[in-house]
Chains A and B, each alone.
Chain A
Amino acid sequence: MLGPRRGAGPLLEVRELSVVFSGRSEETVIAVDGVSFTVEPGQTVGLVGESGCGKSVTGLAIAGLLSARGNRVGGQVVFAGRDLLALRAKERRDLRGREIGMIFQDPFAALNPVLPIGLQVAEVLQRHRGCDRRGSMRSARELLDSVGIADPDRRLREYPHQMSGGMRQRALIAMALAGQPKLLIADEPTTALDVTVQAQILDLLRRVVEQTGTALLVITHDLGVVAGLCDEVHVLYAGKLVESAERHRLFATPRHPYTHGLLGAVPRLDSPRGQPLSQIRGSIADAPGWAQGCAFAPRCDRVVDACLTGTPPLSTGAGQALRCNNPMPVEVPG
């Protein structure tokens, strides 16, 4: 139904997405504040930021998984030519799981504890691919096999608690792939896993993108994961995009002081030891919001007067975007 659109422009175009949470009290929280970006077919795009920056809410809003009560979602999420936010609930349900797959951080919470893994994968196949019971179990077995689960016949009958964390994440990826989606949204897919298992899962995700041609939106706090996985990276701070660039460019010449600070704050195996890490003072809790100026200003060393009077505009050009009045100078490499 969405076939003709393939290859003609971006697969996903998020335009001025905003999410406002309003609780019972009068207080409202602007979780996502006018975020725009695109994902091309087959492209891997990263959304990075620290807790509370709005990266996960952006993912949930795109997938249509925010409950309507108390939340206001504004802007447009154009997926293969259609605005997802304007769809009716039933149309969204048909799309989700088939066209858009999702992988969550905690696979144990995302899987049904009282159903065997096989049934859970088969359910997606029956719902979205029109398989019958027997056919869906056969396909489920193939899917588990393809995501590197050894002995899939036995695993089909096992329950989530009988599997290790890495195995559960593989099962979840199998479920997300069952609908043959054009877009996979992975929210912190490896955060709950051990380092060596994380390497396995990242390797699997790379292969999935390569072999199925699906686009991948990775939401993570881990700059190392982004560096090895994504084509393009968007950095979020307090609900707004502050910098976007192709990954080599972003890591080599970060222009926003926040991006620059984040990169310097990560302890690295190849950095000189005994030197203090560069740190960003304060915490994201100090962010005053964007109404009275740049939300990063209280933590920034490069503040100029303009930062305190109004929201810095997002300047875009040549595959990158930057929201800063006084960006880091472009260093000559070497």
Chain B
Amino acid sequence: MTDQSTVESPVVPEPQPAQPLVELRELTVHFPVRAGLLLGRTVGLLRAVDGVSLSIPRGTSYGLVGESGCGKSTLARGLLRLVEPTSGEILFDGTDLRQLNNEAMRRMRRRMQLVFQDQLSTMDSRQNVESLLTEGLRAHGLGNGAVAVSARLRDTLNAVGLPAGVLRRYPHELSGGQRQRVGLARALVLQPDLIVADEPVSALDVSIQAQVLNLLAELQRTLQLTQLVISHDLAVVRHIADVVGVMYLGVLVEEAYSDELAATPLHPYTRALLSAVPVPDPTVEDRRERILLSGDLPSSTDPPSGCRFHTRCPWVRPTRCADERPELRELRPGHRVACHWAQELAVSTTQVSGRGGGGWIC
């Protein structure tokens, strides 16, 4: 075992709600759905993100989890204004990003960096690693002074655990894990305040995934980074995030400290999600009951009325679920849920298991 004995178990700083680095208020991102060959009539609206409010305290890690099509990646792109949000506010360190003009926004982007899932597709195959890393520096006017730049590159590579020798290498010469580290280095070299990592480990093998996850946790601790980590994998998100938000069809359905979310999920969708994650332990797998959702994800162009999950919810109750959209409300300190019946479901766990197969033994 390569125990990282040097890394003491990271002390998670208690999130300070007073001074968030990022605050989203009712962010929506809608895309027009066009039909027709030339004129492109707008025939509908795809509600990718439909009114999400959340805040990320400085120095903490926020995990966003959900299945494909839930809007988690669009939310991240909307946050960085890589797609233009339709409405809402994005407060970054107190500034509303949507009020900034292009040049101010461009300068602001140094402080918020994106790390992607498929690094190879984000790298120019004709650029070596050194050129990839200095490109951002030059773009932000930080590329002056060869000595200072090379020191900065060395420090950054050191931080992500790459030897200085990779500077001369090209993307295709690197392994998947190394590429992910270069992607991280490319973000870190600009010394950002916020790292947005979109599925940072889904393309990697298990053993490499562990290396990158440990690295992300260590970087957050040593560099006091604020992170938004997006993944479809609840186990991955829970491992590195302080707070986890669960998205379904463009809305946030639940948000809690990650341990609390894993231990006492309150929203039926979170319960189903937790019960569906395979656990590499046969005794747990044999014992646990699964909540199998029926059917597929409804389309975001025509989301269900009321609670968006009511068409697949095992605990759905007549009329109110279909009629009234549940607000995200705080049921316990730091634990927000958008479900009309969450309170009742929370206290009547035994009854719940009897009705729909509750047990999330993990």
Chain A interface (Cβ < 8 Å from any Cβ of B): 50-51, 150, 164, 166-167, 194-200, 202-203, 221-228, 247-248, 251-252, 257, 260-271, 273-281, 283-285, 301
Contacts and interface: CB of A to CB of B under 8 A. Distances in A.
A236 to B, nearest CB: 13
A267 B234 CA distance: 9
Contact of A194 (B67, B176, B236): B67
Contacts of A248: 282-283
B302 interface: no
Given A199-B292, A228-B285, A284-B205, A277 B214 contact: yes
Contacts of B205: 50-51, 221, 283-284
A228 B1 contact: no
Nearest to A204: B292
Contact of A266 (B206, B286, B297): B206
A224 B279 contact: yes
A195 B70 CA distance: 13
**Chain B, interface size: which category?**
35 or more
B259 interface: yes
A248 B176 CA distance: 31
B278 A264 contact: no
B316 interface: no
B235 A267 contact: yes
Given A221-B206, A275-B9, A279-B4, A199 B290 contact: yes
A243 B238 CA distance: 30
Contacts of B1: 257, 260-261, 264, 278, 301
B325 interface: no
Contacts of B211: 279, 281
Contacts of B282: 227-228, 247-248, 251-252
Nearest to B217: A276
Given A227-B285, A248-B282, A274-B9, 18 more contacts: A164-B296, A194-B232, A195-B67, A196-B292, A199-B292, A221-B206, A224-B280, A227-B280, A251-B282, A257-B1, A263-B280, A264-B1, A265-B210, A266-B206, A267-B236, A269-B238, A273-B239, A276-B9
Interface of B: 1-4, 7, 9-12, 67-68, 175-177, 205-211, 213-214, 217-218, 232-236, 238-239, 258-259, 262, 272-286, 290, 292-293, 295-297, 362
Contact of A251 (B218, B272, B280): B280
A227 to B, nearest CB: 5
A274 B238 CA distance: 10
18 contacts: A166-B296, A194-B67, A195-B273, A196-B272, A196-B273, A198-B276, A198-B278, A199-B276, A203-B290, A203-B292, A227-B279, A227-B282, A265-B207, A265-B210, A267-B235, A273-B239, A277-B213, A279-B214
A260 B275 CA distance: 25
A261 B207 contact: yes
Contacts of A275: 9
Q: Which of A164, A167, A203, A270 neighbours the largest number of chain B CB atoms within 10 Å of its CB?
A: A270
Contacts of A270: 262, 279, 281, 284, 362
Q: Which of B3, B207, B209, B217 neighbours the largest number of chain A CB atoms within 10 Å of its CB?
A: B207
A248 to B, nearest CB: 5
A277 B210 contact: yes
B279 A50 contact: no
A167 B296 contact: yes
Nearest to B312: A196
Contacts of A276: 4, 7, 9, 214, 217-218
Q: Which of A195, A224, A268 neighbours the largest number of chain B CB atoms within 10 Å of its CB?
A: A195
Q: Which of A199, A262, A273 neighbours the largest number of chain B CB atoms within 10 Å of its CB?
A: A273
Nearest to A269: B362
Contact of A278 (B2, B177, B235, B276): B2
Given A227-B278, A251-B280, A260-B1, A196 B67 contact: yes
Nearest to A199: B276
